[in-house]
Amino acid sequence: HFGHVTQFSFVSSFSFIGRCVTCNGQLLNSATLLVECCTSRAISLSQRIPRRQLSLSEDPHLTIVLCAVGDDLAALPLFQARVELGLASRS
């Protein structure tokens, strides 16, 4: 269990349209798209995460903060994959 907040540092450019997040013009509506779009590495998740379960914010250093609502996200392979791939560090 890695907790409910994980920081992903990417080199891609992000933009916000209303309450939706885009990466290089692609709408990010699941953690799968987030990882695939912003790391160019396909990571298989046991399930896709609806946008309503994600809280995404941006800082000037292009770090995306992904906060899980509840415990569902913390149990998904994404949290193991980001450690194996070195994509993020604990907040």
All structural domains of the chain with their residue ranges = 5-90
User: Would you state the pLDDT for residue 43?
Assistant: 32
Please classify residue 26 by burial: count the beta carbons closer than 10 Å to its beta carbon, then call 0-12 exposed, 13-18 middle and 19+ buried.
Answer: middle
User: Would you state the pLDDT for residue 1?
Assistant: 38
User: Would you state the pLDDT for residue 16?
Assistant: 36
Q: What is the mean pLDDT of the chain?
A: 39
CA distance 89 to 83: 8
Per residue in 40-73, pLDDT (tens digit) is 333 333 334 443 333 444 333 333 334 333 334 4
- 20 versus 41: the higher-pLDDT residue is 20
Which tokens go with 6?
């994980």
Which tokens go with 59?
């800082």
